[in-house]
Amino acid sequence: MSRLSVDGGTLYQRIRGEIEDLIRSGAWAPGRKVPSETELMAQFGCARMTVNKAMSALAEAGLIVRRRRAGSFVARPRLHSTVLDIPDIQAQIVARGEAYRFDLLDRRQRKPKAGDVDEIALAAGGELLALRGLHAAGGRPFALEDRLISLTAVPEAATTDFAAEPPGAWLLHHVPWTEAENRISAVGAEPAVAELLALDPGAALLAVERRTWRAGEPVTWVRQLFPGEAYDLVARFGPARS
C-alpha cells in the first residue's frame, strides 16, 4: 500500500478511503489479509483509535471481515439464500471448446422509469445504461440478455464498448461485487424472444434474474433467458441452520 497524504479531511477517512479503493479496484482480492492495526498505525503515524475507527467503518460497509486474533480480511462475495456464483458466459463457452459471439442489439442511456422502485433504487439519483444483447455458442443463439447498469455506481460504463466485450464479463473483470441476489424461474418464449433464440413460440426457457451490489451500492440488474436444454445451474449446499 502506498503512503497517503493526510492533509484535508479526517485521518480515519483517509485510511478508510485508501483501503476501500484497493478493494473496489480489485487490487486486493477477496480473502486477502489486511495490514494489522499496528502496521497501519506505523504507516500513518496515528493512534490505534483512529485506525480502529477506519476499520470499523470498512467492516460496517461489508468490505472487510474482522476475526478475533486472526486479523482483518477482504470480505468474500455473499449471496442471499443460495450458493450460486456469477457465471462468465463467455469464459464458460470458450472453456468447452465452442466459438463465442456477443451481438449488442440495443444500447441506450436513460432515466429510471417513473414509479419503478427497483429502477429508481438502482439509478441512485443518476441514469441507467440499458443494454440488450445475444450470446451465441458455436454459431447458435445461447442466451438473450437485458441489463441495466447504474451509471452512478459505474460511470465508466457510459463510454465502454460493449460490442467488443460483453457487459457481464466486463463487470466481473472491472467492478468487484460484494453481494448478489439470484432469482430463477421457468417461462415460455414470447414470439419476439423465440425469434431471437431460434425457437418456437412458447418454448421452455430458463430465466435468471440477478442484482449485484458493491459495499451496499447497487451496480447492475440483469435478466438472461436460456433455452431450457442449453443451460443448467448447480449449487452444492448443506442443511439450513436455524
- Domain span including residue 27: 11-76
- Structure confidence at residue 61 (pLDDT): 82
Kindly state whether residue 23 falls inside one of the protein's structural domains: yes
- Structure confidence at residue 3 (pLDDT): 39
Consecutive 10-residue averages of pLDDT for the chain (242 residues): 46 90 83 91 92 91 82 67 65 84 97 96 97 92 96 96 92 87 91 94 92 92 86 55 46
- Structure confidence at residue 5 (pLDDT): 40
Kindly state whether residue 234 falls inside one of the protein's structural domains: no
Q: CB 150: neighbour CB atoms within 10 A?
A: 27
- Structure confidence at residue 238 (pLDDT): 53
pTM: 0.64
> What DSSP state is assigned to residue 224?
E
- Structure confidence at residue 155 (pLDDT): 96
Kindly state whether residue 3 falls inside one of the protein's structural domains: no
Q: Are residues 28 and 132 in the same domain?
A: no
Q: Are residues 207 and 218 in the same domain?
A: yes
Tens of pLDDT, residue by residue over 89-128, are 888 888 878 899 999 999 999 999 999 999 999 999 999 9
Task: Name the residue with cell 430465466.
Answer: 207
Q: Are 63 and 23 in contact (CB under 8 A)?
A: yes
Lookup: cell for 156: 465508466
From 30, 49, 76, the end of a domain falls on 76
Q: Are residues 144 and 216 in the same domain?
A: yes
Which residues are within 8 A (CB) of 155 and not within 5 positions of it... i.e. 6 or more apart? none
- Structure confidence at residue 84 (pLDDT): 54
Kindly state whether residue 41 falls inside one of the protein's structural domains: yes
The closest alpha carbon to 105, from 160, 157, 154, 145, belongs to 145
Kindly state whether residue 239 falls inside one of the protein's structural domains: no
Kindly state whether residue 167 falls inside one of the protein's structural domains: yes
Q: Are residues 143 and 100 in the same domain?
A: yes
Q: Are residues 101 and 43 in the same domain?
A: no
Query: How many degrees, rounded to 5, is the angle at CA 159 between CA 154 and CA 162?
Result: 90
**CA atoms in the 13 A half-sphere facing the CB of 29:** 2
Q: Are residues 84 and 72 in the same domain?
A: no
Tally of structural domains, the chain: 2
- Structure confidence at residue 97 (pLDDT): 80
Q: Are residues 50 and 147 in the same domain?
A: no
Q: Are residues 124 and 211 in the same domain?
A: yes
Q: Are residues 122 and 215 in the same domain?
A: yes
- CATH value at residue 67: 1.10.10.10
List the beta bridge partners of residue 101.
Answer: 136
Q: Are residues 15 and 34 in the same domain?
A: yes
CA dihedral 160, 145, 28, 123 (to 10 degrees): 70
Q: How far apart are CA 214 and CA 177, in angstroms?
A: 5
The closest alpha carbon to 91, from 183, 176, 166, belongs to 166
Kindly state whether residue 109 falls inside one of the protein's structural domains: yes
Q: Are residues 110 and 204 in the same domain?
A: yes
Kindly state whether residue 238 falls inside one of the protein's structural domains: no
List the beta bridge partners of residue 65.
Answer: 73
Q: Are residues 223 and 123 in the same domain?
A: yes
